[in-house]
């Protein structure tokens, strides 16, 4: 196993050499850290069966890994998500997050900065296996005038290129959160359109939502299912607040500016006012929730365009996929066939069609 991993890492280094030749040192440096990070994940993984059989492994970890296997089987058998060898190994990375993603957007625009990657096309984030490197890169973008946001990520999908392991960064999540995460990542195995982050993440979010609903019903725990539905309602309310704020900012940024330089300070002040209003509205919503603080950490950050975009990426188009699933009679196989049709249009047409469906659903 070790020899095979070393051989695989050697191949990745070879491809890094090609990246260096065709894209330059800066890009090669980025992929170098990505390869080292991925190799670290591989080097630390063990078969789940081996961990469960290990008398030295903590009982609580064994319990969580058995649950992973149950969730994985449910995803394959009931949700028709291709597990294909994923989540059969476990790796303890010794840290809270596996990667840190950098998001960026211009100061007066909600159009995200994107980066091109081999095989997957353009994505709206840049991932680092080191928090320090992610923050250094974010600082460079901020110095260029971008709004930036750095967020830790507990899991990611290699989209079938490699077999994704279970990580310590998410295995101890609450049962529902663990199931939702695995369903989300496996949904990327079912469908992924290169270069369209919003589509891919909203699709996976909608599939995970439906998958979790079915999984919780199968467990015959009405109280847990009721808590889950309440959590979904709170998430929807939070998303509505953020989307409404983005709409206000979009109107502000689209305002014709006869003298851009002189109007920039006024626009900056209005932007700050709108963002402060978002914080005030969340405080009211939090009171309605009885003081639940699940989004407090999000609001503790410095709100900006990049951070707001992270919410729209995962949630703004979810109502469209909910509607499509409903129109297909909640039949996941029919739903997957319907969604496959969105491969054909270009990104703009795909976005317009889904946005129209989303408005109908709301």
Which comes out higher in pLDDT, residue 159 or 324?
324
279 and 186 in one domain? Answer: no
Q: What DSSP element (H or E) covers 166?
A: strand 166-167
Range of the domain at 7: 1-43
Q: Find the mean pLDDT for residues 134-155.
A: 97
Q: What is the DSSP track for 277-294?
A: HHHHHHHHHHHHTTS--T
Residue 35: half-sphere exposure toward Cβ, Cα within 13 Å: 20
pLDDT at residue 305 in the model: 98
- The residue behind tokens 């010794």 is 94
pLDDT for res 361: 65
β-bridge pairing 89-91 and 166-167: parallel
Mean pLDDT of 243-269: 81
Same domain, 176 and 205: yes
Place of tokens 């109107």: 251
For 21-40, the pLDDT digits (tens) are 334 445 777 888 888 899 99
pLDDT at 335 over 90: yes
Rounded Cα distance, 6 and 9, in Å: 5
Final residue of a structural domain among 196, 216, 236:
216
Q: Based on the domain organization, do 126 and 12 belong to the same domain?
A: no
Same domain, 308 and 207: no
- Per-residue pLDDT tens over the stretch 281-308: 999 999 999 999 999 999 998 899 999 9
Q: Are residues 153 and 294 in the same domain?
A: no
Question: Interior CA angle at 158 toward 31 and 331, to 5°?
Answer: 150
Question: Is residue 355 within a helix (H) or strand (E), and if so which, with residue range?
Answer: helix 347-361
Question: Do 26 and 89 reside in the same domain of the chain?
Answer: no
User: Which tokens is 52 given?
Assistant: 């469960």
Q: What average pLDDT score do residues 41-51 get?
A: 95
| One domain, residues 200 and 234 | no
Domain end: 186, 216, 246, which one?
216
Domain end residue (candidates: 216, 248, 268)? 216
| pLDDT of res. 289 | 95
Q: Under a CB-based contact definition with an 8 Å cutoff, are residues 293 and 171 in contact?
A: no
To the nearest whole percent, how much of the chain has pLDDT over 90? 73
109, 175: one domain: yes
Task: Give me the chain's average pLDDT, please.
Answer: 89
Do residues 3 and 89 both lie within one domain? Answer: no
Residue-level pLDDT at 262: 56
For 182-212, what is each residue's pLDDT tens digit?
999 999 999 999 999 999 999 999 999 999 9
Residues 254 and 212 in one domain: no
- Say yes or no to pLDDT of 333 above 50: yes
Question: Both tokens of residue 283?
Answer: 């405080």
Same domain, 270 and 189: no
Mean pLDDT of 248-271: 79
Which H/E stretch holds residue 151?
A: strand 146-153
How many domains does the chain contain in total? Answer: 3
**Do 99 and 237 belong to one domain?**
no
Tell me which of 4-13, 85-94, 157-166, 238-247 is least confident.
4-13
């Amino acid at each position: 196993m070790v020899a095979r991993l070393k051989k695989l890492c050697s191949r990745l280094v070879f491809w890094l050499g090609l990246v260096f030749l065709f894209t330059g040192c800066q890009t090669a440096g980025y992929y170098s850290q990505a390869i080292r990070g991925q190799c670290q994940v591989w080097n630390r993984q063990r078969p789940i069966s081996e961990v469960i059989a290990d008398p030295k492994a903590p009982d609580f970890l064994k319990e969580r890994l058995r649950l992973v296997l149950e969730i994985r089987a449910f995803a394959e058998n009931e949700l028709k998500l291709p597990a294909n060898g994923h989540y059969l190994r476990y790796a303890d990375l010794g840290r809270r997050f596996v990667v840190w993603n950098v998001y960026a957007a211009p100061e007066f625009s909600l159009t995200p900065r994107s980066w091109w990657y081999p095989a997957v096309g353009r994505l709206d984030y840049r991932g680092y296996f080191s928090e320090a490197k992610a923050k250094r890169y974010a600082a460079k973008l901020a110095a260029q005038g971008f709004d930036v946001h750095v967020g830790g990520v507990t899991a990611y999908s290699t989209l079938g290129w490699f077999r994704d392991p279970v990580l310590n960064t998410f295995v101890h999540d609450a049962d529902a959160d663990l199931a939702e995460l695995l369903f989300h990542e496996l949904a990327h195995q079912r469908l992924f359109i290169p270069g369209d982050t919003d589509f891919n993440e909203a699709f996976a979010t909608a599939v995970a939502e439906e998958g979790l609903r079915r999984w919780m019903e199968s467990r015959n725990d009405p109280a847990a299912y009721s808590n889950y539905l309440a959590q979904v309602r709170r998430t929807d309310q939070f998303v509505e607040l953020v989307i409404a704020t983005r709409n206000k900012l979009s109107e502000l940024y689209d305002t014709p500016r006869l003298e851009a330089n002189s109007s920039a300070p006024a626009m900056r002040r209005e932007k700050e006012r709108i963002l402060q209003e978002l914080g005030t509205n969340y405080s009211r919503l939090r009171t309605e929730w009885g003081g639940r603080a699940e989004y407090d950490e999000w609001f503790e950050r410095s709100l900006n365009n990049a951070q707001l975009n992270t919410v729209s990426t995962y949630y703004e188009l979810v109502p469209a996929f909910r509607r499509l699933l409903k129109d297909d009679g909640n039949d996941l196989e029919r739903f997957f066939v319907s969604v496959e049709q969105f491969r054909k249009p270009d990104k703009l047409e795909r976005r317009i069609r889904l946005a129209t469906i989303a408005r109908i659903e709301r």
